[in-house]
Structure 1
């Protein structure tokens, strides 16, 4: 799984194993099988059994798994299940709030995606990002919004959540992690709202977005893919850099080292999505 080529990551409940294969065949760049929020407490054990059986019968599948939160009864059984299957490529750790809980998950020898969705998680970011095995952060805006008592879809709530996004982005960069992944958008039918949220997240430096329905995949993929104009501009910049030393201009704008780096990143993403 190429970490550069992860725009859309689709959740599927572990209680519906028949949907896992459909999700893997969809436009999603990756699939997260959910053992946490999408599974009722009474169904946790049977969800693990269903996922175990699916992986045993589908050795070609490559999935991520969101385990139950650290400190819950189900956390360790979930980790034990995932550690048995090499086809589980990543672990998504909800309510990530302590280095110890992530270190426990690290024994599975799989890249970790801490899900930052609580105040304690935000406060722990300066240390969480340096835990061995952490590959990138993901954001849970809906849970954080509820915990902080924010009024949904208001300017005030967006301002507070953007401050959280800022912290995810800066701490990720400081620790050398892959760029963070944006929170799911609750709209299932309003694809324009999903597209706007994804575009804004991309503008803020996020690399992709968690999705809760297949309808969200096309607008999310488009939003996080470089446009034809961006690719053309980046190609001109990189080509110019091979022929000239120092600063030069492309389309009337000065090009120096930071601009070249941005152009190279755009082309890297484009190539990753096209391959």
Structure 2
């Protein structure tokens, strides 16, 4: 069963079944089997077949499959091979630029209602973020693909992506979707940099992060879990909300209303993972 607030999404290449098997026991909340960027063209068919075989049985944790981009010759065979598999939880659709692409996949999905996630990896995709996020009830989330987006925009440093990040976070919320997970940190050895980047992403409004190596998982989880001080503050807010109705101010000056209570409840839900 998917965690109420999944924090870690571990990518594993579909043409390396032994790596996928290790990912399933890594402690990640969700494993994303990748048929796209991580697989060379001459191994696409093997990756597809191996993934379909893997998903013939229920895995120990939720598995998503990132299929190839919809304008490639591999996308349709990918979807046909895995969509009916009993072990598949969701399809991740890369390089989405319009709501029509989501609707097309959703309306042809077998079984109907198969959960979909859209990855926005270009300026056009970001411009259409809300339209994509609200395109179809089968769409359960959106996220950025920052490597492609960085190349498309010609961004020279990480701060150049912050506007796009905020745009996608706002679009998800406006469409009633969960907060997006942050895009991968590509240097698997730079755990200090990963922690710093996660802290920035959390401040922007991301919840959780995609990873490309198991060693990144613990850093990501720590970064997005509430601190002891945050837990204590949330408990104080909820206690105050149950003893007095309406908006009020706590002794430390914090103003408590319905929105603050909702945030405190989410904090304590996340804290239960500790």
Question: Shorter-chain TM-score: what band?
Answer: over 0.9
Match of 1:141 among 138, 146, 155: 146
Deviations 1:123-174 (A, max 9, x none): 22231111211111111111111112222xx3xx51x310101110111111
State whether residues 69 and 95 of structure 2, in contact with CA within 8 Å, keep that contact through their aligned partners in structure 1.
yes
Distance in 2 separating the partners of 1:251 and 1:4: 32
Shift, 1:122, TM fit = 1.2
1:48-87 counterparts in 2 under 5 A? Answer: 48-56=48-56, 58-61=57-60, 62-87=62-87
TM-score of the superposition, structure 1-length normalised? Answer: 0.92
Match of 1:256 in 2: 257
Shift, 1:4, TM fit = 3.5
State whether residues 55 and 82 of structure 2, in contact with CA within 8 Å, keep that contact through their aligned partners in structure 1.
no
State whether residues 94 and 120 of structure 2, in contact with CA within 8 Å, keep that contact through their aligned partners in structure 1.
yes
Shift, 1:83, TM fit = 1.4
- The answer to which structure has the higher helix fraction is 1
State whether residues 113 and 134 of structure 1, in contact with CA within 8 Å, keep that contact through their aligned partners in structure 2.
yes
Shift, 1:184, TM fit = 0.4
1:117-156 counterparts in 2 under 5 A? Answer: 117-132=121-136, 133-151=138-156, 154=157
Shift, 1:86, TM fit = 2.5
Distance in 2 separating the partners of 1:266 and 1:2: 18
Shift, 1:3, TM fit = 5.9
1:109-124 counterparts in 2 under 5 A? Answer: 109-124=113-128
1:247 aligns with 2:247: yes
Distance in 1 separating the partners of 2:244 and 2:104: 50
State whether residues 5 and 29 of structure 1, in contact with CA within 8 Å, keep that contact through their aligned partners in structure 2.
no
SS at match of 1:216: helix
Match of 1:237 in 2: 237
Q: Which ranges in structure 2 are unaligned for 5 or more consecutive residues?
A: none
RMSD of aligned Cα (Å) = 1.6
Aligned residues between the structures: 267
